[in-house]
C-alpha cells in the first residue's frame, strides 16, 4: 500500500475504482433528492411513538459514507471534485425539473401534470436550500475527516467517519431547514424536524461503520493508496487535485 501526501499541482496516479465511487455518489445524491424528498414517512417506535421524517433520509446519508471513503482513501482534493460533480448534477436536475414542468401540457395528459408537480415541483427555497446545504455539508464532512486523519495519524477510523458526519450533517440539516422553511413553518417545528433528521442521518453512519471499514479496507488494498492531506489546499473553490 502506498501512503501519499498532497503535492500542489500534481494529480498523481490513475485509480481503478475512483470513477465508480464518483458515479455511485452522484447516483445516490440525485435519487435521494428527487425520489425520497417528495414523501414524508411515519413509523412508530417503541417508547417514543410516531416519528415523521422525509423518506429520503434513509438513503441520503449513504452519500456521506461515500464522502468518507473518498477522503480516507483518495484525499480531500479528489473528494472535492466529486462534491462539485454532485452539485452540478443536482443543479441540472433542478433546472431540468423546472423547465419540464413549465412546458405546455398536451390535452390528453389530463391531471398527470399535477402529479408531476407534486413530485418534482419543489419551491425555489427548497431547491436552493438543498443545493447550499449539500455543498456546505459535504465540504465540512470531508475537511473534518481529512484533518482528523492527520491528528490521529491514520488510527481509529471510526472516530473520523462518525466525527466528520456529525459535523457535516449538522451543517447540512441546519442550513436546509432554515433556508427552505424558516418563516413558513413555526420556528419550533423547523428546529424539531431538523434535529430529528440530524439524529437519523448520523445514526445511519454509526450503523454503517462496519460496512465503511470493509469498503475502505478493500479500496486501500486494491488501489494501493492511503492518502494523507498534509500539504492540501483546503479551499472548496477549485477542481484541481
Can you give the pTM of this predicted structure? 0.89
Q: What percent of the chain has pLDDT over 90?
A: 52
**Region 80-85: what's the mean pLDDT?**
97
Residue 209: Cβ within 10 Å count: 17
Residue 6: pLDDT above 60?
no
**Smallest Cα–Cα separation from 78: which of 153, 12, 160?**
12
* Cα atoms in the Cβ-side hemisphere of radius 13 Å centred on 19: 4
Report the SS3 class of residue 227: strand
Residues 6+ apart with CB under 8 A from 55: 36, 37, 39, 40, 41
Report the SS3 class of residue 18: helix
**Smallest Cα–Cα separation from 190: which of 203, 173, 204?**
173
The CATH architecture that domain 2-228 belongs to is Orthogonal Bundle (1.10)
**Region 156-179: what's the mean pLDDT?**
94
**Region 129-146: what's the mean pLDDT?**
95
Cα–Cα distance, 234 to 227 (Å, whole number): 14
> Residue 10: what pLDDT?
46
Beta strands in the chain (DSSP E): 2-5, 40-45, 49-54, 225-228
Q: What percent of the chain has pLDDT over 70?
A: 91
2-5/225-228 β-pairing? parallel
Domain spans in the chain, listed from the N-terminal domain onward: 2-228
Return the higher-pLDDT residue of 87 and 205. Answer: 87
What one-character-per-residue DSSP string does 46-102 give? TTTEEEEEEGGGGTTHHHHHHHHHHHHHH-HHHHHHHHHHHHHHHHHHHHHHHHHHH
Phi, psi of 51 (to 5 degrees): -125, 125
Helices (H) and strands (E) in the chain, counts: 8, 4
**pLDDT band at 175; cut points 50, 70, 90:** very high
**pLDDT band at 230; cut points 50, 70, 90:** very high
Return the higher-pLDDT residue of 60 and 176. Answer: 176
Amino acid at each position: 500500500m502506498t501512503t501519499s501526501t498532497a503535492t500542489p499541482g500534481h494529480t498523481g496516479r490513475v485509480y481503478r475504482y475512483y470513477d465508480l465511487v464518483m458515479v455511485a455518489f452522484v447516483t445516490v445524491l440525485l435519487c435521494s433528492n428527487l425520489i425520497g424528498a417528495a414523501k414524508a414517512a411515519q413509523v412508530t417506535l417503541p417508547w417514543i411513538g410516531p416519528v415523521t421524517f422525509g423518506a429520503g433520509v434513509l438513503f441520503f446519508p449513504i452519500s456521506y459514507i461515500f464522502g468518507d471513503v473518498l477522503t480516507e482513501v483518495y484525499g480531500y482534493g479528489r473528494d472535492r471534485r466529486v462534491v462539485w460533480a454532485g452539485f452540478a448534477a443536482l443543479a441540472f436536475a433542478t433546472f431540468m425539473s423546472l423547465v419540464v414542468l413549465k412546458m405546455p401540457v398536451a390535452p390528453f395528459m389530463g391531471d398527470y401534470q399535477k402529479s408531476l408537480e407534486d413530485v418534482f415541483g419543489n419551491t425555489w427555497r427548497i431547491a436552493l436550500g438543498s443545493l447550499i446545504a449539500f455543498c456546505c455539508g459535504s465540504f465540512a464532512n470531508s475537511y473534518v475527516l481529512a484533518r482528523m486523519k492527520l491528528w490521529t495519524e491514520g488510527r481509529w477510523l471510526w472516530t473520523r467517519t462518525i466525527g466528520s458526519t456529525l459535523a457535516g450533517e449538522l451543517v447540512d440539516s441546519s442550513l436546509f431547514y432554515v433556508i427552505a422553511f424558516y418563516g413558513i413553518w413555526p420556528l419550533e417545528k423547523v428546529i424539531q424536524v431538523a434535529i430529528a433528521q440530524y439524529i437519523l442521518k448520523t445514526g445511519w453512519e454509526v450503523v454503517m461503520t462496519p460496512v465503511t471499514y470493509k469498503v475502505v479496507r478493500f479500496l486501500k488494498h486494491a488501489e494501493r493508496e492511503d492518502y494523507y492531506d498534509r500539504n492540501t489546499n483546503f479551499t472548496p473553490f477549485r477542481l484541481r487535485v
